[in-house]
Amino acid sequence: MARASIVGAGMTKFGTHADETLAELFAEAALPALDDAGAGPDEVDALYFGNTSAAISENDTHLGPKAASQIGLAGVPTQRFEDACATSATATKHAVAAIEAGLHDVVLVGGAERCTPASGLDTDEMTRVFASAASRHYEQPVGLTFPGVFALLTKRHMHEYGTTREQLAEVAVKNHHHGSLNPRAQHGMEITHEDVFDGPLIADPFHLYDCCPFSDGASAILLVSEDAADSYDSTPVDINGIGHASGGVPLSEQSAFTATRAARDAAAEAYAQADIDAGEVDFAEVHDCFTGAEILATEALGLFEDGEGGPAVADGRTALGGEVPVNPSGGLKAKGHPIGATGTAQLVELTEQLRGDAGDRQVEAPTTGAAHNLGGEAATTVVTVVEARP
């Protein structure tokens, strides 16, 4: 029994959207999602909306009603979610629960975010905004940034398992290749290992191309109950599991450190709900905010043994055509990372892949996909299992 079904999916191209309001930007993802399903605004019972940083970066809050009003949903209940980079995955979790509980029948879920310098803040200002997800009192004063968080995790992983800079660079090269096949990716260009190593350092071991970009963008999915899904125009896909867990703050006190315990707990919960094991995952969209983060994620999801994530990417096992393609969309790395839109954008990719509609980046005949959306210093992780109908 599916927990809920996705009957509509839409997203903007990720990149720069400096001339639109957040609500206008969201409309560019939400209306295609409704059109995909053949559903009008009058059929939508609620909006679950994600945005992370606009309260700080744009002095813009209470975004749910603003987004709803833009797309003809004024009047429906709406709420705004903020869980750092896992924002719209947690929105999805709650929307699924609302459908299961009979609270709502049709829920639009999505997010919109603007992080590029063109749309507001310079790099050092936006670095400060991102760092607000770290502990205000025990990490920000030390100067920890988000590249810094994943640099600490990755350097420890390199120390414990021998993960190499070449393996990290291969994550970037692979995801840029995938992104070159995705017309909505912010970075559509291929890169080489030399491009990665020649780029400026951000926080060692990460050079510029080890890091996802600042992005503007929006994404949306339309969720309904499994039974109602067949009455829409599109081919539905089923959400069969969503696991959600938190890790300790500050990062230094997380007992497992490189294991990213929250991701493992979330994955175990999602797989149990879907009654699958990691070996049944055909492909995954994971939170590759930094190259090292993808390697940690593939291990936390159980796609590879601990310490094997680096060799796996170097051997092409996670590339399109490999045994378990990871981030066929290009991932955060190449597709882009408009924070509050990333979680549902992963689900848009899963939907298109499972429908066989992903074009040049199509994974070969997948039936089961997993999304791994991480927030903060690995302090929130949501893992979602989406499957094609038999």
Partner 1 sequence: MTADEVPAYAEGTGLAHATWARALRDGVLLGQECSDCEHVLGTPKSVCPACSGRSLVTVRLPTSGEVFSETTIEVTPEGLDDRYQVAVVDLGPTRLLARVADEVEIGDPVVFDGFVQYEDLPGPRFVAEPTG
Backbone angles phi, psi at 211, to 5 degrees: -110, 145
DSSP per position, 316-372: TTTSTTSSS-B-TT-HHHHH---HHHHHHHHHHHHHHHHHT--GGG--SS-SEEEEE
In Å, the largest CA–CA distance within the chain is 56
- 203 near partner 1, judged by CB under 8 A: yes
Contact 267, 372 (CB under 8 A): yes
* Of 46-54, 127-135, 181-189, 348-356: span binding partner 1 (CB under 8 A): 127-135
Smallest distance, partner 1 to C-beta of residue 203, A = 5
- 139 near partner 1, judged by CB under 8 A: yes
If the CB atoms of residues 257 and 304 are measured against partner 1, the closer one turns out to be 257
**85: annotated active-site residue:** yes
120: left (phi over 0), alpha (psi -120 to 50) or beta: left
- 137 near partner 1, judged by CB under 8 A: yes
**289: annotated active-site residue:** no
- 200 near partner 1, judged by CB under 8 A: yes
For CA atoms 186, 84, 24, 230, the dihedral sign is positive
How many other CB atoms are there within 10 angstroms of residue 55's CB atom?
16
| Tokens 């560019």, residue located | 28
* Of 58-66, 76-84, 154-162, 319-327: span binding partner 1 (CB under 8 A): 154-162
Contact 111, 90 (CB under 8 A): no
- List 40, 75, 141, 359, residue binding partner 1 (CB under 8 A): 141
Distance CA 42, CA 33 (A): 14
* Of 77-85, 111-119, 146-154, 343-351: span binding partner 1 (CB under 8 A): 146-154
- 159 near partner 1, judged by CB under 8 A: yes
- List 30, 202, 284, 332, residue binding partner 1 (CB under 8 A): 202
DSSP per position, 271-317: HHHHT--GGG--EEEE--SBHHHHHHHHHHTTSS-TT-HHHHHHTTT
- 198 near partner 1, judged by CB under 8 A: no
- List 45, 77, 103, 138, residue binding partner 1 (CB under 8 A): 138
- 253 near partner 1, judged by CB under 8 A: yes
Distance CA 320, CA 360 (A): 10
Backbone angles phi, psi at 389, to 5 degrees: -80, 140
Residues that contact partner 1, how many (by CB under 8 A): 38
Q: Is 377 helix (H, G, I), strand (E, B) or coil?
A: coil
Catalytic residue among 17, 85, 212, 372: 85
- List 34, 151, 168, 284, residue binding partner 1 (CB under 8 A): 151
Smallest distance, partner 1 to C-beta of residue 160, A = 10
Catalytic residue among 176, 178, 187, 337: 337
- 153 near partner 1, judged by CB under 8 A: yes
Smallest distance, partner 1 to C-beta of residue 134, A = 9
Binding residues for partner 1 (CB under 8 A): 122-125, 127-128, 131, 135-145, 147-148, 151-153, 155-156, 159, 200-205, 248, 250-253, 257
**Active-site amino acid positions:** 85, 337
